[in-house]
Amino acid sequence: MASKKSASDRSTSGNSVSSLRSGKSARSASGPSNLWENIKAVLVTVAIFLVIRTFLIEAYRIPSGSMIPTLLVGDWLFVNKLAYGPHVPFTSINLPGYDEPERGDVVVFVSPDQVDQPEDPNPTLVKRLVAVAGDTVWMRGGLFHVNGMPQRQGFGANENPKGDGGFSHPLFQWQKPFEVRGTSAGDPPAQPTLDDWGPLVVPAGKLFMLGDNRYDSKDGRYWGFVPRENVRGRPVFVYYSYRADESDRPLPFITDIRWGRIGTIIR
């Protein structure tokens, strides 16, 4: 028995030596298997990333100044998609969330149709939710009201530059079917302007959004109410920020980082 085992061992060793001499190795036999294992690992990683991005959290970049000072151009945010219920891509299905959008929340959402920009009629935006279904809203002299209560902006927003409050636009005409009379605000103006419009009643299943930078924000005054199902998430904090619109340095995303904003909680 011992001699047979030794012969077998010698045979195996000989085969290995022969493989090496012929330019082949025992490892090469498992090459396709290792390749498949690597492919599977990559696919699993990609699948995990897509699940996290679709249902849990996603990055979002601030491209405009409509939410100054809350959000600055060049801020990058992490958006909690689970809070209000994640949207299933390529469908009209929204899964349940653990929270409902409330007045005062900063919200990421898909815009209603913007007829003046057919090249991108439904951009993803971030604004402040200022009214929910059933609320009566209006603005007089630039002061926003909800259900008869004035909603003064915070100190930071009051520092934003003031614009022409009497500015009007044909897009404001969407408001006409939703106007109401007989409220404490009086009748709606004949022509809505940035500072004077409404009262309007927010319909069921709809939300109303405004930018914090009121005179530099294309918001609900222009394109109307946002369907609840268009909501995509709630920004959580700034994870990266650089001076994208005011820097005179080369490569500002590297050389002009706003270090003090990194980690800022969004309120």
Q: What percent of the chain has pLDDT over 90?
A: 67
> Strands (DSSP E) along 23-152, which ranges?
57-61, 75-80, 106-110, 124-132, 136-140, 143-146, 149-150
Please write the tens of the pLDDT for every residue from 71-128.
Answer: 999 999 999 999 999 888 878 888 899 999 999 999 999 999 999 999 999 999 999 9
The backbone torsions φ and ψ at residue 107, rounded to the nearest 5 degrees and listed phi first, read -130, 140
> Which amino acid is present at 201?
V
- Checking if the pLDDT of 6 tops 50, the result is no
**Which amino acid is it at 74?**
G
Query: Which segment of 29-38, 101-110, 255-264 scores lowest on mean pLDDT?
Result: 29-38
- Please check the confidence at residue 32 and state whether its pLDDT lies above 80: no
Q: Please report the pLDDT score of residue 53 as a whole number.
A: 61
pLDDT of residue 181: 92
- Return the pLDDT at 241: 97
Q: 41: pLDDT confidence band, cut at 50, 70 and 90? A: confident
Per-residue buried b or exposed e for 208-226, using 16+ beta carbons within 10 Å of the residue's own CB: bbbbbbbbebbbbbbbbbb
Q: What is the model's pLDDT at position 8?
A: 47
Distance of CA 34 to the CA centre of its chain: 39
Residues contacting 260, CB < 8 A, separation 6+: none
Is residue 66 within 8 Å of 219, Cβ to Cβ?
A: yes
Question: Residue range 187-199: average pLDDT?
Answer: 96
Do residues 115 and 121 lie in contact, with contact meaning Cβ atoms separated by under 8 Å? yes
Phi, psi of 51 (to 5 degrees): -65, -45
Assess whether pLDDT exceeds 70 at residue 13.
Answer: no
Catalytic annotation, pick one of 3, 19, 25, 127: 127
Q: Please, which pLDDT band fits residue 29 given cuts at 50, 70 and 90?
A: low
Active site residue 66: yes
pLDDT, the chain, mean: 87
Q: Tens digit of pLDDT for each residue in 115-171?
A: 999 999 999 999 999 999 999 999 999 999 999 999 988 888 888 999 999 999 999
Inter-residue contact 202 to 131 (CB < 8 Å): yes
What end-to-end distance do the CA atoms of the chain give, in Å?
81
Name the active-site residue from 5, 24, 33, 66. 66
pTM of the model: 0.80
